[in-house]
């Protein structure tokens, strides 16, 4: 299986990283929207990581609150936020994709 580092190095499209935890209520509430966006937005890669299962990745990205979303374009973090704000997530993806045009 590819590591996150490999995925980010090899991808040519923007990436949305979603850091979650099974015990996180807000994470569970925003997950259906995240899944819907991942199915509908084809020019972006969506990756989900459970902070309890992927502790090294969470530490590498300095995740201290869930959910946290990190947006990567051209191998650089261009945005990040924590919280289950649906509008903020949609807007951040729109901005990420507009930077790709």
Q: Label residue 1 by pLDDT band (50, 70, 90).
A: very low
Active site residue 27: yes
Active-site residue identified among 16, 21, 27, 63: 27
Prediction pTM value: 0.92
Q: State the angle between helix axes of 86-98 and 25-40 in degrees (0 to 180), rounded to the nearest 10.
A: 30
Q: Label residue 2 by pLDDT band (50, 70, 90).
A: low
Residue extents of the structural domains in the chain = 16-98
Active site residue 44: no
* pLDDT tens, position by position, 12-67: 999 999 999 999 999 999 999 999 999 999 999 999 999 999 999 999 999 999 99
What is d(CA 54, CA 59) in angstroms, rounded to the nearest whole number? Answer: 9
Active-site residue identified among 21, 24, 30, 72: 24
> Cβ distance 25 to 77 under 8 Å?
no
What is d(CA 65, CA 86) in angstroms, rounded to the nearest whole number? Answer: 16
What is d(CA 68, CA 20) in angstroms, rounded to the nearest whole number? Answer: 7
**CATH superfamily of this structure's domain 16-98:** Glutaredoxin (3.40.30.10)
């Amino acid at each position: 299986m590819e590591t996150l580092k490999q995925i980010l190095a090899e991808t040519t499209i923007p990436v949305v990283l979603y850091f979650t935890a099974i015990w996180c209520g807000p994470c569970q509430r925003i997950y259906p929207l995240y899944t819907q966006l991942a199915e509908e937005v084809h020019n972006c890669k969506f990756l989900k990581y459970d902070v309890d299962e992927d502790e090294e990745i969470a530490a590498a990205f300095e995740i201290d609150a869930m959910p946290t979303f990190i947006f990567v374009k051209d191998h650089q973090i261009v945005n990040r936020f924590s919280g289950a704000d649906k509008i903020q997530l949609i807007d951040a993806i729109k901005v990420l994709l507009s930077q790709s045009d």
